[in-house]
Chain A
Amino acid sequence: MPSPSRSLQVEDAAFRAGLSAQLRRLDVASALFVEGAGKAVARDAAKRSPRRTGRLARSWSSETGRDARGPYADIGSEGAFYVNLVEFGSSQAGARPMLRPALEALTINVAPFR
């Protein structure tokens, strides 16, 4: 008994055009996603920052960009030179981590970051 077989014909040009369109949509969606994630981490880091004048909390920001690997978010603190001493601690005061827990928290609900 001959084995059942099926054939599938793909129109090459239409397939390529469709694939390109889907990739463009994915690219836009991932850029928006990374931008949102970066802002969420910066907001969370601000919330976790110890407050005296509020300068440290206000210093967090997220900038998005694109490199060979795709879109990225650069999250950092500007204007608070002592941010590393707070985040990692010093010989005078213990660490009060802000950025790292904020990044970790992002992974709880956002599956692609797990």
Chain B
Amino acid sequence: MGAVEKKINTRKNIGDSNYLNKNCWLIKNLNYAPYKRCQYCELKFNHCLFLHYQIVSLAVVFLFFIFFILIEKRLSPLSIITVFALIIVYGYFFNISTEKIVKANFFLKKTKNELNELMDNLEDKVDEQTKNLQEKNTHLQKLLKMRSEFLDIASHQLRTPTSVIKGTASMMIDKDFERLSHEVQSQHINNIWQKSVKLEEIINDILSASEMDTEKYELVAVNMEKIDIVDMIKKIIDEIHFDAEQKGIILELKPAVGKVLTVEGERKYLKQAIVNLINNAVKYTPEKNDLTKEKGRVIIEVSAIVGKVLIKISDNGIGIPKAELTKLFKKFSRGSNAKEAYTDGSGLGLFIVKEIIDGHGGQITVTSDEGRGSVFTISLPVSAPQVLAVSKPRTAQPSALRR
């Protein structure tokens, strides 16, 4: 490609001449003597019909001149006039044919340029598409890696409660189990129960998360309704306060601030999001804070600002290390200190919360002080964003999800 271009560039442009008067056809023609290449087609004399034609026509003029001199034995005015007339005629036809050739040449060059351009464009396009393909490929590889990580961790999370259920049951089948004290036996049965509940929760979490993973969570018009946030939180607290009481921590809803405390949304999912957050707060708040020696408490505040409802859930629990705040809403992310405190959270709860809040056009933020507690704030728009007109099936049931 490059070599051909060079060759074209070194060639003379049309009509160029080494002589000053390049408009004179005679000079032009003499310049292109037989030993040179043709001005227009760049072929050698032997191959160029145009050059042949030039020489033949010049020879014909010369022959006429000789012919007249032989007939009249002198340089008669007639011979001179005839020769001049011939030369003029020759020049006329020569100019016409040259023009045609020049035009044809110009057309050819133009076409050539266009072809070159097209080729360049094609190359650019191919390059671009190759790049696109490479990008898609790396993206796919990333997705595959994420998928295999998902499977690794999901299977671990599922096996953990399973191993206790299976293991304890296998011990119960064994006669030795009867040797254990009654208290220990009932503790074992209790463990099976707890791990079964846990197992179901994890299955639900994984289903919800993988569903939200394949298609972004979006609101469905049919399921939309006006939701009284304060009322909803009161109901949630009714369900959860028993857990908090058992742990010996305070769970409290402060009186709401502001007027408009309803939002448009899907009740089932908004409830799921808020339940997750309150459950987390309760779970990661010990009865007594190690650092501040305060009694554990979870406070929920609801307030309205223009067009938005804010829900603030603050606790004085174990908090979240600063470095981990940013990746908190990703799948299978758990605070490193959370693993110590609680062993079998699915690591999916906050991911699901974020998907739901995003779907409602809201925002979730978190601030935390490790060892002193965390504050999760949800802001939800009072009127819902664009919604899907048709309902799509959702398989997973909401559950009390854990981070």
A and B physically associate: no
Chain A interface residues toward B at CB < 8 A: none
B residues whose Cβ falls under 8 Å from a Cβ of A: none
